[in-house]
Amino acid sequence: EVNGALWTLKIEVMFYLVLPILLWLLRLGGRYDWIGCLLLYVGAEVWRAWFNHIGQFEIARQLPGQMSFFLTGMMLHAANLSGVRLNIAGAAGAALFAASLAWPQVEFARAIGLGVLSVWLATGIVRLPDAARFGDLSYGIYIVHAPIIQTCIALGLFAASAWMGIGVAITASVLGALFLWNLIEKPFLRRDSAYRLKHA
């Protein structure tokens, strides 16, 4: 069995190790760095598709095959979409994401669709509530969600009722993240932390 939390952490650490080389390569491209991003995206999707095709599913899910998701985030940050452009991109992202789920031939566009859709849902016309007022819970949820979901599965909650399993897993993950933020993360923030300064 794959340990979900450890697997995603491994991908993240590998990305941090590759990031300096990636930035160096993109800076070499100057104003044409978007071409480099596009080529890397295509390379990541070719890696994933090829190893899935030959049945090497574990290798397909390694960092080269996941790089398209990181690159999508980088490109969206650089694009700084807002207003009408963000709404148009959000609609296109939703269509791409739905198409990638419906037709395997469009799966190569899933990272772009999911990335744009996520940004639009969080910052666009359908703006989500600002969870940051409760603290920076994102990393805590990232850390605890996989073992909590596995515990719910082991306890038979999802087998009894999918909605009960989802509800318990989400509630426990948020509570666990609040616990980590208030008792571990927040007390160790430096005085000049951007989060401390913003919420002072």
Domain housing 51:
1-75
Q: What is the pLDDT of residues 167-187, one digit of tens each?
A: 999 999 999 999 999 898 888
Residues 56 and 108 in one domain: no
Residues 135 and 121 in one domain: no
* Helix 63-79 and helix 110-123, axial crossing angle in degrees, nearest 10: 40
Residues 69 and 98 in one domain: no
Worst-scoring range by mean pLDDT, 76-85, 110-119, 156-165? Answer: 76-85
Which is higher by pLDDT, 191 or 163? Answer: 163
pLDDT for 61 equals 84
pLDDT for 161 equals 94
Residues 17 and 68 in one domain: yes
Residues 97 and 46 in one domain: no
> Phi first, then psi: what are they for 196, rounded to 5°?
-65, -45
Q: What is the pLDDT of residues 129-150, one digit of tens each?
A: 776 777 788 888 988 988 899 9
Burial of 172: CB neighbours in 10 Å, binned 0-12, 13-18, 19+: middle
Q: How many domains does the chain have?
A: 3
Residues 5 and 64 in one domain: yes
Give the range with max mean pLDDT: 2-11, 44-53, 129-138: 44-53
Q: Is residue 1's pLDDT more than 60?
A: no
